[in-house]
Amino acid sequence: MRYFLRIKYDGSKFYGFQRQNNLLTVQNLIEDKLKEIFNEDIKIKGAGRTDRGVHALGQCLHFDSDIVIKCSYLKRKLNRLLQNNIIVKNCSIVNSDFHSRFSVKRKHYKYKISFKKSDYNSNYYLYSKKLDIKKMKEVSKIFLGVHNFQNFVSGERDNYDCIIYKIKFEYLFNKLTIHFYGKSFYRYMVRNMVGALIDVGKGKATKEDIINLLNMPKTDKMLSTAPAKGLTLVKIYY
C-alpha cells in the first residue's frame, strides 16, 4: 500500500527536510510518528529536500506499508502527534508506480522580501532597502525556458538543465513576492536566482551578467545567494 501526503511546515523550526542524525528534521519527525502509528520502521520519500529555514505550504511525500489504515484516521492521528510542528493537509492512497519526486510535473516556489524594517518577520522575509523592481522583472525573463543552471546550483550533478515556465512579481504593502514555476529546482537554485535579481535591483549586476552565467557554465563570476528564510515551497503539481 502506497500512502501519499501533502504537508506544510515552518522551516525555521527544522534543520531542513532530509534525515540527519541527532537533529530535528522534517523527515526524522514524520518517520518517528509514523513508526508509532504503524509499529514498524517507515521510510518516506519526499518530492524535494528543502534546506534549513525553507518553509513549505505544499510539500509532498509517499511511503509504503502492508498495513492498511484509513486515510482520514491517519491524517488526524499524525496531526495530533506532530502537534502543529508539521500539518498534514491531505492523505490518500496512490498507485504503486507513483513517486512523489519522479512523478512531479511542476513546482511553485515563492520568495518574500520586505522593504519596511519595522514591518517584517525575520523568519519569513528578507529585509532589503529599495530595489529597482522594474529592472528585476525585465531581467527575470532571461531565466524563462530551458537553460543550463550550473552557475545557480550548489553541488555536483550529472545534468544542470532545467525549465522555468513562469516568474511572477507581486508588490503590496512594502512587500515583494517573486513566484517561480518550473519542472525541477536543484539545490540553492531559487535562492541563487533571487540573489542575482536582487543584485540587479541594487545595480550590482546587469542583464549581461545573467546571460553570461547561463551561457557560460563554471564561470568565476558569482552573484549573491538569498537567505533561506524568505523561500517557501508553495505547491507541487502531478
Burial of 215 (0-12, 13-18, 19+ CB in 10 A): exposed
**C-alpha pair distances (Å), 45 with each of 10, 26, 98:** 19, 11, 11
d(CA 101, CA 47): 4
Q: How far apart are CA 62 and CA 79, in angstroms?
A: 16
Residue 32 annotated to the active site: no
Amino acid at position 61, single letter = L
Q: How many whole angstroms separate alpha carbon 103 and alpha carbon 28?
A: 23
Residue in this structure with the C-alpha cell 544542470, named with its chain if needed: 160
User: Which residue reads 524535494 in cell numbers?
Assistant: 48
DSSP-based three-state secondary structure for 34: helix
Catalytic residue among 32, 51, 97, 158: 51
Positions annotated as catalytic residues are 51
